[in-house]
Chains A and B, each alone.
Chain A
Amino acid sequence: EAQVTQNPRYLITVTGKKLTVTCSQNMNHEYMSWYRQDPGLGLRQIYYSMNVEVTDKGDVPEGYKVSRKEKRNFPLILESPSPNQTSLYFCASSLGERGRISRTEAFFGQGTRLTVV
């Protein structure tokens, strides 16, 4: 079954304690991205990756890091989480279409609800 898998689904942590949210897709997609969802704001892109070892900032990258060492995995790293990073996080992947991927469907994981206290 084609899917994007995120772990954990729920996480409560304390301010400053480094954490990683994992994301894996089994569709051989080139493009992966991370979004955060906040009430009244919809989803906003944090980081994206066009392919292995190619990553770039989205709209709200502050306080986050990513890496793309393998095509299937795209972990999100919070090195020193703060309460304003309490949010619902989604990983998404898309198939590249001759480099023009803006029309293709994004597949989303089930989300990770993070609470930083």
Chain B
Amino acid sequence: AQSVTQLGSHVSVSEGALVLLRCNYSSSVPPYLFWYVQYPNQGLQLLLKYTTGATLVKGINGFEAEFKKSETSFHLTKPSAHMSDAAEYFCAVSEKGGYNKLIFGAGTRLAVHP
């Protein structure tokens, strides 16, 4: 069965530092890939997704992610962290040709300190 692994349940960075959140999926057939963000007391909001085409995907709020098939990875990055980026981030996959069942990783809580 498909699974998603997010390395690091908590990540802490300084304001202005690089943000790197890791995500690996398990299937041999690349799925569709998503990153969602959850701010405190709110629902999930789509940051970006990869379905086809260019493997470097740009999303909202300056985030981007790169699909690497050989590494079965879809890591999320942002060059310079802002205090407002503090939130929980979820990587999710959806199998191609299926219905929209999202399989989520356990989440990574990002803390940004001054």
Contacts and interface: CB of A to CB of B under 8 A. Distances in A.
Contacts of A48: 99, 101
A44 B104 contact: yes
A58 interface: yes
Contacts of B92: 43
Interface residues of A, number: 27
Interface of B: 4, 9, 31-32, 34, 36, 41-46, 49, 51, 90, 92, 94-102, 104-107
B90 A102 contact: no
A2 interface: no
Interface of A: 4, 31, 33, 35, 40-45, 48, 50, 58, 90, 92, 94, 100-106, 108-111
A115 B76 CA distance: 33
A50 B99 contact: yes
Contacts of A102: 31-32, 94-101
Contacts of B100: 31, 33, 94, 101-102, 104, 106
